[in-house]
Amino acid sequence: MVPIWAAAQDALGSSVEEVTIVGSLEEARKIAGSAHFIGERQLRQFAYSDVQRIVREVPGVSLQIEDGYGLRPNIGIRGVATERSGRITLLEDNVLIAPAPYSAPSAYYFPTMGRMAAVEVVKGPAAITQGPYTIGGALNMASTPIPRETAGTWLTEVGQDATVRVHATYGGRSDNGVGFLIEAHQWQSDGFQTIDRSDANTGLDVSDFTAKLSYAPVGSPHAIELKLQLADQDSNQSYLGLTDNDFGDDALRRYGLSELDNIATEHEQAILRYSFDVSENFSVTATAYNNTHQRNWFKTEGLDLDGSANADSYSGKSWASVIDAVNLGNGLGAYSHEQLQGILDGSVDTPTGSVQLRSNNREYYSRGLQFSASWLGDFGRMQHEISAGLRLHEDEEDRFQRNDTYSQRAGKLGLDSLGTEGNAGNQVQSAEALAFFIRDEISFGDWTVSPGIRFEDIDQDRTRFKNGAARAFRDGRTNT
C-alpha cells in the first residue's frame, strides 16, 4: 500500500507502476527497520525460477524445502511458521496475492518467480505499512514493468529431466503516453523422482501469461495502468514420503501408491491502478484488484487395513502412521511391519476399499480497493516523509472435497468406490477486512526515526455443511 518513489521508478524502468515497498537497494539501506531489495540485475544474473533460492540469503528468512521447484514455497520471517508461507504477507506488485490472505492464507498459489523484476523482504518497523501479518514481515514481488522504449526479450533454458523454461516479453511506450506489455512464461519438466512400477513423471507444466496497458502522457500528473494475468499449473506432486531405510537407499524414489497424485491450479488476476502527482511533494494512488484461484490436489491420504464397503465409510490410518510403524519395527492391527513395508513396496495386496485418495478441491477469491498517499516536506531542520494507506478487502475459500477408495493389486491401484461429493470437507470460510496505516519517517542529521501505527478490523465467518449444501450442521461462526 506504499507508493513507489522516484528511485524505485528508475530501478524498475517505469514511471507508472506503484508496485514496490522500498523500491531500490539504496532506499532499503535508508529505511528504518530491516528491508532487503533484490533488483533485476541480481535476478537475471542467476535466472532462478525458485523464490526460495533467491530469499535464502536474506537474514531472518527461514525456509522448508518441499518439492524442489518452489511451486508452493514454505517461507517464514523472524521465526514465524514456514508452512505454506501462511504467516507472512505475500504481495505481487504491492497487492495481496495469497489465495485468500485473511480467511485461508496458505500459499497454494505462488507467483511465477521467473517473470519477476524485483523482490523485497521487509521486517520489523519496515513492515508496518503491510498487513495483515506484521509480526514476521512481508515479501513483495514486482512483475516485469512496461519498458520505456519498444523492445522484446527472449530467454530459453534447457536442462536435465527434460526441463525447458521459456520467458518472452514485448512492449514499449509511444510518444502519446500509451504503453503496453505482453509476457509469456512456460516451464516444463519430467521431474527428478521415479515412481515404482510406473511410467508417469513427477514433473510440472506451468503456463503464465501477463498483459499490461498504461496511459501516462509525458508531463501529465496522471497515470493509469491495467494488468491482467493468467497462470495454469499441473504438477505430479505428492505428500507421501519414504521410510528411513528406503530414503537412505534412494532418496529420489516414490512409492507406486502415489502414482495418481496430481495438483492442478488456475489463477487469474486483474489490477487497475491510478496515480496522481498533486505536486512535487504530494502524490496519491488508488488500486482496485481481483484475484481468483482454483486448485484440486488429488493425492493419497491413508490406509484402512480392514478395507471399507464404500468411500463414505472409510476409517483408516495416515500414511505417516504407516511409515512411522515401519521405522520403529512395529505392526498395525493384524499387519506386521514387514507386511506394511510390502504394501509400500507394492508386493502385498490390500483389501477392497483400503487405500484412500482425496480430491482436495477448493476455490478462492480475493478482492479489494486500496488507497495511499505520500507527502514529503520539512519542519524546521527535520524532514518528514509521511505515508498513509487505507484498504477495503474481502476474500473467501470454498472447500468441496471428496474421498475415494482404491485397493492395491499386483502393485497397481484400482478404483473401488467414488465417494459422495463433499464427504471430505464441505465448507465456506470468508473474511472482510478494513486496514489503515500512517507512518512518518523523520530525518534530522544522521538520524532517522519512523513512528507509525497500523489498524486492522477483521470479520471472519465459517459455515460447514453436511448432507449437501442445503443443511448446515454447525452454524456459521463469526470472529471479529
pLDDT of residue 25: 59
Q: Which residues of 66-105 are buried (b: 16+ CB within 10 A; e: fewer)?
A: bbebbbbbbbbbbebebebbbbbbbbbbbbbbbbbbbbbb
**Res 10 pLDDT > 60:** no
In 3D space, the residue among 2, 81, 5 whose CA is nearest the CA of residue 370 turns out to be 2
pLDDT of residue 468: 52
Instruction: Specify if 229 maps to a domain.
Output: no
Average pLDDT value for residue range 306-330: 96
More confident residue, 46 or 110: 110
**Res 179 pLDDT > 70:** yes
Instruction: Specify if 91 maps to a domain.
Output: yes
Query: What is the C-alpha to C-alpha distance for residues 340 and 241, in angstroms, rounded to an integer?
Result: 14
Instruction: Specify if 102 maps to a domain.
Output: yes
pLDDT of residue 166: 97
Instruction: Specify if 71 maps to a domain.
Output: yes
Give me the chain's average pLDDT, please: 91
- Specify the CATH number for the domain of residue 18: 2.170.130.10
pLDDT of residue 469: 47
pLDDT of residue 380: 84
Least confident of 249-263, 347-361, 464-478: 464-478
pLDDT of residue 46: 81
335: Cβ contacts below 8 Å, ≥ 6 apart: 305, 343
> How many alpha carbons lie under 13 Å from residue 164 in its C-beta half-sphere?
6
Domain membership of residue 12 as a residue range: 6-143
**Res 473 pLDDT > 60:** no
| Domains: count for the chain | 1
Query: What is the C-alpha to C-alpha distance for residues 232 and 4, in angstroms, rounded to an integer?
Result: 30
Band (pLDDT 50/70/90 cuts) for residue 32 is low
Instruction: Specify if 83 maps to a domain.
Output: yes
For the stretch 58-100, pLDDT in tens is: 999 999 999 999 999 999 999 899 999 999 999 999 999 999 9
Do 271 and 286 touch, CB atoms closer than 8 A? Answer: no
For the stretch 130-143, pLDDT in tens is: 989 988 999 999 99
Average pLDDT value for residue range 398-413: 97
Looking at the DSSP bridge assignments, the partners of residue 76 are: 62
Average pLDDT value for residue range 419-443: 94
pLDDT of residue 41: 87
Q: By three-state DSSP, how is residue 169 classified? A: strand
Instruction: Specify if 211 maps to a domain.
Output: no
The CA-atom distances, in angstroms, between 368 and each of 85, 365, 411, 415 are 21, 10, 50, 43
Least confident of 4-8, 15-19, 287-291, 395-399: 4-8
Do 356 and 348 touch, CB atoms closer than 8 A? Answer: no
pLDDT of residue 2: 37
Instruction: Specify if 49 maps to a domain.
Output: yes
For the stretch 247-302, pLDDT in tens is: 999 999 999 999 999 999 999 999 999 999 999 999 999 999 999 999 999 999 99
pLDDT of residue 209: 99
Instruction: Specify if 15 maps to a domain.
Output: yes
**Res 472 pLDDT > 50:** no
Query: What is the C-alpha to C-alpha distance for residues 256 and 188, in angstroms, rounded to an integer?
Result: 23
pLDDT of residue 21: 67
